[in-house]
A and B are shown apart, each in its own frame.
Chain A
Amino acid sequence: MGEPGFRPDGTWVGADVPRREDPRLLAGRGRFVDDITLPRMLHAAFVRSTEAHARVTAVDLSEVREVPGVVAAFDAADLGLADITALLDRPAEEFTPTSMPVLARDKVRYVGEPLAVVVATDPYAAEDGVEAAVVEYDPLDPVVTEAAALAAAGTPVHDEAPGNVLVDVSLFATEGIDEVFAAASASAGDVVVTVEANTGRQNALPLETRGVVADWDDRDEQLLVRTCTQVPHQVRTVLARCAGLDEKQVRVTVPDMGGGFGQKCVVGREEIAAAAAARRLRRPVKWIEDRREALTASFLAREQHYTARAAFSADGRILALDTDVVCDMGAYSCYPFTAGIEPLMASAEMPGVYRVPAYRVRGRAVTTNKAPTAPYRGVSRPQYVMVMERLMERAARELGLDAVEVRRRNVITEFPYRGINNVTYDPGSYLESLDLCEQVLRDEGWLSRSGRDRDGRMIGIGFSCFSERTGYGSGAFAQRKMQVVPGFDISQITMDLDGTVTVTTGTLSHGQSHETTFAQIVADRLGIGYDKVKIVQGDTDRITYGWGSFASRSVTIGGSAAAAASVKLGDQLRSIAAHLAGVDIDSTRLDGRGGVRAGDHTYPFAELADVAYLRAHLLPKDVGPGLTATASFDVGGDGTFSNATHGCVVALDPGTGGVEILRYVCVEDCGVAIHPRVVEGQARGGIAQGIAGALFEQVTYDELGQPLAPSFMEYKVPTAAEIPDVRIEHLETPCAFTADGAKGAGEGGTIGAPAAVLNAVNDALRHTGVELDATPIPRAAIFAALSLEEAS
């Protein structure tokens, strides 16, 4: 990369500079886990359960070990690893702890659950070995649906939870809420509207599946684990505990990653089993999840069932909100978040951008015989936003008001706002984004285009207005009573002899461009080119304990830590320059061109580094040798809220029930965008995933718990042909307490899209009287609704 020089106003933040990652990625020179090949490396494959729910009476691997190419095969007893347990600090009536074994023993709880690991000289032989395993089952009645889980009729999924409920929390219940609903029902003008909504089970589906290459290093007495995780330190912690190693005996490194979306922010079982096998065999072991495993046996998300009602005054103001949400978390609680991740998020955040004066919520997590779940981009917010936005639309319909106007009357407009959910919202542009989104669609002529188009298709327009808490600090997670509180981040910055700097971050880019955006943040603090900043991430031996990247935390928390460390380093440089110039430190400043101005002198950083490292006798007494600074950052209070309004125009084909998205507009506000094109990329990708959930993707099972979508023929990931071009407009309400005023931008697209699409489809169905509240939206239901109308 050439010398980018200095920007005229001296700032990198806000500029669409070339991405530091691009030269290698675009030229195919990135290095992903599967690109790593080590001498004597072996390949792992897993014997997986073919039953959804069964007692395991025997695992016989003797034939496996005879298969040509197979080097070893281990079951749970062979590896003797401790279980993975994730806990909440909640009483027994609210939370039932369960454990996930690394390899199943005694009992299996979903089809695809790993029972044994086979290690062979190539992946083909490893799969041959898997086929030679003999597992004997004593089948139990599978618990396949949330309804079956709650009915608790047969053998429970976990003995510890006889009713199949792992989490049952009622976080809020405003006193007198029943009276509010009763009064609204009795009043002539007020209305009470209800929504029963189901959202389908989804796979976050990173393009790069999960994977690991592990080997034991005798010289370092260390297990080296190269894996594509969003949370390297948590993998280290769990692996060390499972294998009975010291943390210092495990080093987790992360190469380039092809996405994670939350599926990789929990600790999986296969990487631990593969690493344990590598340690046992003293040979490198690689496991790359194949697409069938990814679709059937990886971490899933999103399957929720809402029963919600809201009371509205005659003039469209929300009076009360009452919700019951049941989240189908599958077979196990994930580490570190637990099965509480979805119900707690929904319960804590559902009122969203609206002034809700009375709120009651019950959130439950049930366990079923399906693959377990992990957080997925947005975590519950795509679903509860969808439910809130349906309530808004339904109230508008019943009250005979415009649905955008109803939102306008309810959105929070004065900040900071203390919500009914005990959350303080920092300033945002809820009303402004709503107005602008509507204006854009009006200017483009869409608002006048309802009814049928020339092909006889029904046109509908839908909106969604929402905010997204980003930068959850330790306090915010502690409020959820997580026992592991992933709040802070630590950065260390070191300047070398030539004045270039290396900065560590505990956050971890799995596609978000941290090498670019963090360099911009640091470069601004020190007044150097962003190409002079090297970002180190994803290596537990080189980085102080960090929490990785999820929940839109990287720039807000990690970026702020990097900024704080940079400021400290700048202060050190100024101290040295002041001493050399014989002036007070207050008479020095960074000159914005890679040096310190001290009195009449300018000291280039390289000159100060020369003193710091090579001529330490010249240093002031209170400054030690070397140039290193460390800083941490945590978000106090309730974090910072990004917000957006999405607008969607659809055309429904009465002859087929087919849906085409004609237009999609996103007006987003993530505070100050460090790199606007990166933000737009996040929005576009997120919207595509939201549309996927609204219209296409669903993980389905038959009544015995057998997966029905093991390939991309059945699991319908939308392609470029299904995803519309998206118009993105930016608003900017800076955050007052993060570096540069940035807010998180990672999840908003995914959050807003299902609601906007579903509302648009319902708008197009308005004349039929049919309302749909399930995703993915069944084309058969659209067809049936429009056929009724044609017939009448």
Chain B
Amino acid sequence: MQEKRSDSTLEIKNLNISFIQGEKEANALRGISLSLKRNEVHSLVGESGSGKTVTSTCIMGLLPTPPGRINSGQIILNDQDLLLLEEKDQRQIRGKEIAMVFQEPARYLNPTLKVGDQITEMLILHLGMGKGEALDRALEIFDLVGLDGGKRILDSYPHELSGGMKQRIMIAIAISCNPAFLIADEPTTALDVTLQLQILKLILSLKNTLDMGILFISHDLRVVHDISDWVSVIYAGRIVESASREKLFSDPKHPYTRLLLESIPDADKRGKRLQTIPGKVPDAEDIPGGCAFHTRCPLAEDICKTVQPETKEVGEGHSHTTACHFIGKQWKQWKN
């Protein structure tokens, strides 16, 4: 293994991104801050359309501009702002320092290239390996991600392999250059439940053996509960609550987080009507003023419609932050 050059954190600071379509402007991210530490899983949770994928695309430097526009913010790695780097230098980071695993391996692998080609091209490009050396390294990585039948898999096309194997291959490709950080965008959503568990275990064990920081993007709170060290909840392009896993699941402060937790089906709730959150995430081009959640919030009062709540510390140190005017306030039975 080559020496690591990366710092221990990947810092996203006040990222503000919009999409321009003709006259319309959609605010996809409205000031996102996240920090990702080595050997830690930081989950980003939210409904679809809340800005999870935009965040990860932007970190990878893959945001198409236009239509995307970065209004402000920084992504700091090794004292460098990745957003200021030229494309050529960004390519040195992509795959090598920060790698990504996607949701549907079947669609995210090239159907006409052998698996061997798809994994070795990166090793050859980033680490300057020869073909033979790269193939040997690929076999080592296959062992690491629990793929047996190494040589045969190198010679296979993606469609010849099962869904679980394909996702292991995606992961193998992502970790092949020993990246400091890994972005996993719903890596288990397209898999069945037993496979989900295996892949999650694999991701956790790789985090430890490779000392990786993982940004885990998901809408599934149960998965997030199993895997995370830290959890941030995103709503309409803003992080509404961020805390260690224990804090977030035992003592959620933001009404959105609380409602999300209540909507997890659970054996204790058998027989009761499952809580749902009425309405849906607002369109990015039509985000309500004040607190964006006020249209769906049981606590909303007049102030919520006009004043956007500041992000406040609610725990000791920096262990828990949330953005709500009525932190921790209880509400009566939610009318469904």
The reply to whether chain A is a binding partner of chain B is no
Q: Which residues of B contact A (CB under 8 A)?
A: none
Q: Which residues of A contact B (CB under 8 A)?
A: none
